[in-house]
Amino acid sequence: MGEHIKLFDLWFSENGLVASRNEVEFHRGSIGEFFGEERLKKFIKFVLSYIINLDIPIMRGTFVEYRSGLINISPIGRNCSPQERDDFEKFDKEHGIRQKFIKVLQTQFPEFGLNYSIGG
């Protein structure tokens, strides 16, 4: 965490999943622990099947990236170039791919209570 942790008695990182007091970690959690493996697999399988059926200009791989506190979903894939990302953002503004995807996920998994956001 670096030297800056010494500036505070309490420190919360990774969207609040890691907590430290006086430089000693006292809590660590993950989205996987919270949801459990079966629910997580159900969600990820649905996401991948949805992406497979998208009609978008390019797909480059690494569509789902699991992190401690979130699941990063990229319809074109995290392996795209900066130019491909910019081109997809323009395409998405015209066709609303990500916004429609979020609505589907909210409808399909309301009991998960997830928050969704669109990054640039």
**Same domain membership, residue 54 and residue 1:** no
120 falls within a domain: no
Tell me whether residue 63 is exposed, middle or buried, using C-beta atoms within 10 angstroms of its C-beta: 0 to 12, 13 to 18, 19 or more.
buried
Q: pLDDT of 34-44, one tens digit each?
A: 889 999 999 99
Q: pLDDT of 70-87, one tens digit each?
A: 899 999 999 999 999 999
78 DSSP 8-state letter? T
Closest listed residue to residue 71, CA positions, set 111, 42, 32, 38: 32
**Same domain membership, residue 18 and residue 63:** no
Residue 69 belongs to domain spanning: 36-112
Please state whether the predicted TM-score (pTM) of the whole model is above 0.75: yes
**Same domain membership, residue 85 and residue 69:** yes
119 falls within a domain: no
64 three-state secondary structure: strand
User: How many domains does the chain contain in total?
Assistant: 2
Q: Are 10 and 19 in contact (CB under 8 A)?
A: yes
